Amino acid sequence: MPKNISFQKILFVINPISGDVDKSDLGTVISEYCHQYHLKYKIYKTTGEGDFAKLKQLIKTYDPDAVFAAGGDGTVSLAARAVNHTSLPLGIIPLGSGNGLSKDLGIPQTIEEALALITNHTIKGIDTLELNGHPCFHISDLGFNALVVARYSEAESRGPQTYALIALQEYLNYECHKYRVETDQETFEGDAFMLTITNSNAFGSNVKINPNGIIDDGIFEICLIESFPKMAAFKLMYNLYTETPEDSEYTRILPCKTATIYNYTDTLAQIDGEVVELGRKIEVKLLPKSLRVVVPTEPLT
């Protein structure tokens, strides 16, 4: 039996195209669940145009107790922007290709189990980041991965296979770029393959770029993959997939509370899966526990 039913009125934000996942039954599954627990609900389907303003307006008029994002990290980010700095909690039904934030929060990856959090959950405040004022709820990066994200956003198909194929194609000819990172603790200057800014642990692909990051500790990390010879790629991937990035001589993690990044060559940047223009000087700020998320109840120890 559910332990708590604190939400009575829920707004679902559904992205019909995320992750190449068929969502034709999702409306029925949501309806049956809400009917079972006598919950009111509304569904907002994203269109990819003007969703943020429409969602903000709907939250104002419908006044839900929680917003549940059904989609990938881009959809989660859209809903998170709409509820950030408010008391309204954000739930996630992972239906994207990566679903990185949901995995880092321990949210179940099936629709039924994720929906069950509506009636049995804990609400947790998590730190979020801002890069030149752009909110980031999971992972941002400059360099290689941002290029892959840009190409993926233009691809005709979605899903992990498309992403992996694009990554391989781009990797073969990729050249590193020069960056300078000044944090409240230390300074780095040099070439990097990519530079990741996050307070979470892993990409949706399960690459653990920041295995020791804690999402609500007031600290974020800048994770560097420095320039490496092609022959070192397999060992590096092994280290990243086995949560041992510190065992690679080409990685470096800078924990900090504030940072300024100089992106000398204005390489591409992505935030939570969306390519953004950040310019050559990027100020990174942490906003302590600004977002309330719906997560599984911790098992009693």
Ligand X SMILES: Nc1ncnc2c1ncn2[C@@H]1O[C@H](COP(=O)(O)OP(=O)(O)OP(=O)(O)O)[C@@H](O)[C@H]1O
Binding site for ligand X (CB under 6 A): 15-19, 46-48, 71-75, 96-99, 158, 204, 273
C-beta of 145 vs 183, nearer to ligand X: 145
Instruction: Compute CA 162 distance to the chain's CA centroid, rounded to the nearest angstrom.
Output: 19
In the complex, what is the shortest distance from the CB of residue 47 to ligand X, in angstroms, rounded to a whole number?
5
In the complex, what is the shortest distance from the CB of residue 294 to ligand X, in angstroms, rounded to a whole number?
18
C-beta of 162 vs 212, nearer to ligand X: 162
Which ranges in 37-154 belong to alpha helices (H)?
51-62, 73-83, 100-104, 111-115, 144-153
In the complex, what is the shortest distance from the CB of residue 142 to ligand X, in angstroms, rounded to a whole number?
18
**Residue of 186, 180, 147 whose CA lies nearest to 275:** 147
C-beta of 39 vs 115, nearer to ligand X: 115
Q: Give Cβ neighbours of residue 88 (< 8 Å, ≥ 6 apart).
A: 59, 64, 65, 66, 67, 292
Instruction: Compute CA 126 distance to the chain's CA centroid, rounded to the nearest angstrom.
Output: 13
In the complex, what is the shortest distance from the CB of residue 48 to ligand X, in angstroms, rounded to a whole number?
3
Task: Quote the tokens at residue 267.
Answer: 């390489």
Cα Rg, the chain, nearest whole Å = 19
C-beta of 97 vs 128, nearer to ligand X: 97
In the complex, what is the shortest distance from the CB of residue 91 to ligand X, in angstroms, rounded to a whole number?
15
C-beta of 248 vs 270, nearer to ligand X: 270
Beta bridge partners of 44: 13
Return the DSSP state at 297. Answer: P
One-character DSSP codes across 3-15:
S----SEEEEEE-
